[in-house]
Structure 1
């Protein structure tokens, strides 16, 4: 096992495109770190630089105590799992698992021991004579994981390994990866655009946008204390409601939007200097609740109701404002109903509307 450290790592292509802008962070020995962001944010490029598949334009990359900028991929003691499985179709599961070990001239006893252990861990023992074409997507992804596992590397790199699977299989293989990490205690760096994968797998998460790191923290810290408007809107499903307006104090605290929504904020904790200034206010869907008995409430029309079992999502409209509330599935309103709502004042998020950065009282 080994730590991975990036110091101002930057990638600029020959055409001048900046794919990664000075990334600096450390993945601790044995940590599972997730790189997440929208398509084109630089997360896969960053992973490929760690793997040695992309040259580093500037900065320093270290694995353990060794700077590896100029070290070939095969000598970095890493194993990579790709989105496309990359299995040899003419080989059996056993032959796919053994192929890399044979190339590295391991003796047969070592190969048999490692393949047996990986097959047992991943539930592949009854499939060793099958070829990839005879297997489901989830089974093939487990073989791809097993091929990395038998290498016994210092660092595992996983590049969107679940994106080709259906929802049920994604959950199953995601659980498998989490269990493997706990069992092996190996350093893992996992790339995904799926925030659910990021939140459920990562011990810490690196959020990227346009090649630049936006925030690094634990999943719940990112959710509860997003550093800026991008992180606030990217993490969470449904996404955070964002409203922009002027903060006013008049028989209570309100956000007065340009479209004449007067949103009562109750006893929200603010900085006095924010009054009469333009702010963006974020409200998580679970913190926007029906409340006909609340004095500090406003009305919105129910546009769409999405019951999903243990909860329901209400798409709401107040003038031109579109809002989403997460509510209990009992006693749901009907489409077209005028619903009274109130916000949880102690769960509001305030942001500078120009820079997007999070604002804190004091």
Structure 2
């Protein structure tokens, strides 16, 4: 999507009817899906890991739902400035095994570190958490386009969130310090991190590299770790009237994962094992609602270009070689 157009729409949200914009974006999503462009092929490869039992027509139907969900997210993010608090609160509510309790009990005593993925509408989730749970601080990726970066950071700040940017000094330490204060919520989008700082974990009968951040801040702050999944739901009746939208979201909070079993482990093992624990919990939510996972980039080992990656564990190099029938993959090994 042209960045200038997105910035214009976000800055003039009140001038653009949301229903009209939704219709245009849904048409664009269907166009991309029909001709399998704009990340559709990769989305379907990712979904094939999540849904290995389904036939091709079912996979295609899910990928269409996924593209429509993804494009609608942009509509909602760009027009959120034109929504009232009442509309937004009608569009999202909490659920899951840990909400309202023990999450609500925990926030009354301490703070909540959270691992989550690119699902649903995480801007709405941040607004909901600020309004009903506690003060939200999160990290946004530093985009190359400064205008886009400022636009989306400003959107989230207007929703009540504190925003840190990747590349700022000592982010992990700042988040850990924040978590030692009461009533703080620190959700981190963590389902893909191909950098040398990422952690390889098992997911959907393969391997993915995810961010270590949720596990690190939970361990350093000595707090149990929660996970969040999001999915869309159809609105009816009074809630639909208040939301002025046909669909809303469920913010599914699960956990907590106690950190005590990990505290006596070597640091690296503790981070790896706790990361695996929250990914296992998160993956269940993806299985239940794969249509709202907005992962249009390579994430599974079979799709990664290891020659561009660094500090790869030997077991990952061995697994990649096995997947390719013994062909050697080049990539830098992790230091012993």
Q: Do these two structures clear the TM 0.5 threshold for a shared fold by scoring above it?
A: no
Q: Would you tell me which structure has more strand in proportion to its own residues?
A: 1
Q: Would you tell me which structure has more helix in proportion to its own residues?
A: 2
Larger Rg: 1
Q: State the TM-score, normalizing by the size of structure 2.
A: 0.25
Q: Which has the higher contact order (CA 8 A, sep 6+)?
A: 2
